Chain A
Amino acid sequence: MKTEKKNHSMEADDAKLLAAYRNGDSEALGVLVEKYKKPLFGFIYKFSEGREDANEVFQEVWVRAIKNMNRTRQLNLLSWLFRIAHNLMIDRIRRRKPVVSFDTPASEGGTAMGELLPSHRLGPDDESGGHALGTRIDAAAAELPPEQREVFWLRMQGGLSFKEIAKVQKCSINTALARMQYALSKLRNELGDEYRELQEAG
């Protein structure tokens, strides 16, 4: 994964495209969105409630990025986009935050809320898919604490460096590294035999 060097060399191109967009060339925005859609949308998709929700967040990220671009001089557009996505997702999580615990039954003798929500764990149909291990990793990553999950996907899906991840999460590089290590360790334990098989095959 040598994407970091590539990202930094993109800065001049991005600045030119942004300047072109500001000067009325609406196609320039299309080029920028196209350029970063995969890592950004893929990352947002991991944290959203389906494609429609991810699309909304994706659009909001771009609108905010373009609107505030004049105020802040960003050196790296992709990490700036991820930072906006991170802030948006924090807002959404706060808004969604339930008042009652997932384990508390809604009524006496009723079902706990956690049991009513769709589980991140896989069903037998999912496990028989072509990317079985990849899907298992996805499901196991969904069980990680939010900060660790975010570091994991910022690195694996977004291709961000730890310096950039630290900026997005407003923490030190050491904290970002520690979160990544915890995430990897938990995934290793969660995957168990499959992880060991993977290592033996590799």
Chain B
Amino acid sequence: MMNAKKLGKWILLEQTGELSTRKQKILNACPEAQAKRDELKAFCGAIVPSEAEPSPWAVTRIRARLKTERRSILLPARVWQPILALAVCLTLVVTTFNFTPEPSVVSVAAVVVGEVDVWNVQFEEDLVELESLILAISGDLLDITEM
């Protein structure tokens, strides 16, 4: 003989198809089971499930809300796009600056040598010009003394 509580639980599980085969066999052999089954069946039969239905516009409203919420998720992205673009530009600028080779000792020396060379050429030219001027003057002086 099964206790009333257990019997009640098993009858409820039987109703939903959740009772195992082994328990079902035990329940079938229980003499009080049928009376309990009938009681539950009669009670369930008396319950009138609610016939209330949602508004005919429910689907339209749900669709509209989903669309709005999707848009509100996308909107910040739209706001972020120019900021993101600006950030990319800044990054590019910064990295370009970083990648510009800093003047090394060799290049500084090369520049200095180059400048010295340029200076030497100019100096030599000046010297040659000065020399020729002196020569010209001295030639003139000689001519004067000869006179």
- Using a CB-CB cutoff of 8 Å, which residues 23-43 of chain A contact chain B? 26, 29-30, 33-34, 37-38, 41-43
Q: Is B99 an interface residue (CB 8 A)?
A: no
Interface residues of B (CB under 8 A from A): 5, 8-9, 12-13, 15-18, 38-55, 58-59, 61-63, 65-66, 69
Would you call A5 and B17 a contact (CB within 8 A)? yes
Could you say which residues of chain B place their CB within 8 Å of the CB of A138? 48
Bound complex: CA A202 to CA B37 (Å): 11
Q: Are A137 and B9 in contact (CB under 8 A)?
A: no
Contact B63 A55 (CB under 8 A): no
The one of B46, B49, B58 in contact with A58, judged by C-beta atoms closer than 8 angstroms, is B58
Q: Hey, which bits of chain A sit against chain B, CB under 8 A?
A: 1-2, 4-5, 26, 29-30, 33-34, 37-38, 41-43, 45-46, 51, 54-55, 58-59, 62-63, 66-67, 131, 133-135, 137-138, 155-157, 161-163, 173-174, 177-178, 180-181, 184, 187-188, 195, 198-199, 201-202
Q: Let me know if B16 and A161 touch, CB within 8 A.
A: yes
Is the Cβ of B53 less than 8 Å from the Cβ of A38?
yes
Is the Cβ of B62 less than 8 Å from the Cβ of A177? no
B13–A177 contact, CB under 8 A?
Answer: yes
Interface of B is mostly: helix
Residues of B within 8 A of A29 (CB): 59, 62-63, 66
Nearest CB on A from B97, distance (A): 43
Say yes or no: A45 contacts B52, CB within 8 Å: yes
Q: How far is the CA of A30 from the CA of B58 in the complex (A)?
A: 9
Whether A42 contacts B18 by the Cβ 8 Å rule is no
B69 neighbours in A (Cβ, 8 Å): 63, 67
Do residues A202 and B65 form an inter-chain contact, with CB atoms below 8 A?
A: no
Q: Which residue of B lies closest to A32 (CB)?
A: B59
Nearest CB of A to B43, in Å: 7
Contacts known (A4-B16, A162-B12, A162-B18); A134 close to B46, Cβ less than 8 A: yes
Closest 10 CB pairs of A and B: A202-B42, A134-B48, A42-B50, A161-B16, A45-B52, A30-B59, A41-B54, A131-B48, A62-B62, A177-B9
Residues of A within 8 A of B53 (CB): 37-38, 41
